Every structure is written in C-alpha cells, then in structure tokens.
Amino acid sequence: MGAAQNGQGNAATVAIVTVAYRSDAVLPAFLDSIAGSVSEPVSVVIVDNAPAVGDARRLAAGAGADYVALEANPGYGGAINTAVRTLPASVEWVLVSNPDVVLGAGAVDALLAAARANERVGSAGPTVLGGDGALYPSARSVPSLRTGVGHAVFGRVWPSNPWSARYLGTRRASDGTADVGWLSGSCVLVRRAAFDEVGGFDEGYFMYFEDVDLGFRLGRAGYVNRFVPDAVVTHTGAHSTSGDESARMIQAHHDSAKRFLAQKYPGRVLAPIRGMLGIGLDIRSAIARRATARRATR
C-alpha cells in the first residue's frame, strides 16, 4: 500500500496516515480494515512516536505501508505533519486516523465522494462509534468563551447544564450531512491543499484540541468541515493508561483548552475573561485528577 498506483500507472491521490505509540494491539485491525473502506489505490504511512517499543515497523512492512520512526515524540499533530510531508505531490487527500480505529465498509469512499463534490470542503469526517457501539461526539461547534466557561465551571457539578450540552453536542447520523465547526482528529479526511494552506496541525498542542484548532483555522480560511454520516468508523479506544498517565492526560486536555481559547480570543480587553476561564479549567482539572487518583487506589 505504501506506493500504490492506479490503473494508469500514476501515483495514488489518496493517502492514509496514522500515528503509532505502543499500538501493537490495535494496528493490525486498523490496517486490515483499510481494504474494505476504499475502492481506489491508497498509500499508507505509519509514524512511530515510540520506535524503541513495540512492533510497528514489522506490522507496517507486512501491510505494505511506509514506516517513519521519530527520535522524539512531537505529539499527535506533529507526527501527522511529519507523515504528510513525506507524501508525494500527487496525493490530494489525506485520511488522518488513530491506530485504534476500524474503518467501516466504504467509509473512505463516502468521505471522498462528499469532499470531492465541493471544492470548499477542507475536511470531511465520519460517524464515529465507540467500542461499545455508542455514538462518539465527533462533529461539534467550535468552543466559545461562554460555552468554555460554563462547561469548565459547571460540567462536573451540573452535567446537564446548557453550556456543557453545547460544548459536547454532536451530530447524529439521522441529522444528515452538515457543515460543523470541527471534526474529531480520531478519523478525518483532509484536503491536502487546504491542510498545507493553514500550516497543518499546530504543533504547540502536544495532545488534545489540535483537531479543534485545525477545524477552526480551516473555517477561518474559507473552507468547511463536513460531517458525512454515511461513513462509519469504530474508535475502539483500546489503549489502556495508568492512573498517573490518566492524570497527565487530564492536565494536558485542560491546558490545551486554555491555549485554544487564548488563541481564539487574544488581546488585552479579553484578558480578565481568559483569566476566569483559566481558573475554572484549573479547578476542573484538579477535581478530575483527584477523582482519577482515588479510583486508582481502590
């Protein structure tokens, strides 16, 4: 798959890229699902953020995928950017996916059809199901200061509050195709030209919110992020984390949220609101990390 050609001998115009990080348990299912998801030739690139651990190199070779080992871990967005830079100029579309995703039958074909139908589509995202079959919130509005503050302050003490509902809201398959603020980076098709135009993922986000930021910048550049419900993938979430790792992930999520809203709403006038939001997010992060620590000691 790494150097797939079409019937006329030209290089493939579609690439699939994923980031491996101790992903041996999930990579085979992801790689096996590619063939049934797309009917045209594709190239596949696996970027390994932990090449000293695991067997991603061998799995890539067995699947005919290109393998890129990174000496240091730049985070998800940085690794994807590295993969995209290795692609030939012939590649017009890039499916960015987590390794713990299983692509549904015809899923990539459906995304490509929707994206190719309108030159304004900068990204297209599928219906994402969790490993238990539940709908994953993969197509959402871009967070605002109002929803960010409300969710940060009330999300845990009042889960049904209207700000969290807007923050966590997602499109359902029954809602039909729609243009949204951002699409989950767990599985999203991007137009190569649009991705390059906005500079790819912002590598200042080590993890979390890099997809929110990408969707926001694509929208600001005049592109749309299109939810395609007929394309279905399953995000198994097979990676397990220790209590310490979970605490670090919680902290990273809240730090990234603060960074995004600070970048979206810069300037001195909004500084007090950003400060209040930061305090709310810090409190929410501390509560969540303590809850995680308590569960880990039981």
* pLDDT > 50? residue 62: yes
What number of other Cβ atoms are within 10 A of residue 172's Cβ?
11
Instruction: Give the least confident one: 97-106, 110-119, 140-149.
Output: 140-149
Query: Going along the chain, which residue ranges are E strands?
Result: 14-20, 42-48, 66-69, 93-97, 101-103, 121-130, 139-140, 178-180, 182-183, 187-191, 224-235
- Asked whether 1 and 35 are in contact (CB, 8 A), the reply is no
**pLDDT tens for residues 120-153?**
999 999 999 999 999 988 999 887 767 766 766 6
Average pLDDT value over all residues in the chain: 85
Report which of 39, 31, 38 is spatially closest to residue 101, judged by C-alpha positions.
Answer: 31
**pLDDT tens for residues 239-284?**
434 344 476 666 666 676 778 777 777 777 677 766 766 666 666 6
Provide the CATH number for the domain formed by 14-135+170-235 in this structure: 3.90.550.60
Report which of 196, 200, 178, 83 is spatially closest to residue 125, judged by C-alpha positions.
Answer: 178
CA dihedral for 241, 243, 248, 251, sign (positive or negative) = positive
CA separation for the pair 193, 200 (Å, rounded): 10
Q: Average pLDDT for residues 214-235, to the nearest whole number? A: 97
pLDDT of the residue at 291 = 63
Coil/strand/helix, residue 227: strand
CA separation for the pair 106, 233 (Å, rounded): 10
CA separation for the pair 4, 171 (Å, rounded): 34
Query: Going along 79-203, which residue ranges are E strands?
Result: 93-97, 101-103, 121-130, 139-140, 178-180, 182-183, 187-191
pLDDT of the residue at 161 = 82
Maximum average pLDDT range among 161-175, 195-209, 252-266: 195-209
- Where along the chain do its domains lie? 14-135+170-235, 243-297
**CB-neighbour burial class of residue 147 (10 A; exposed 0-12, middle 13-18, buried 19+):** buried
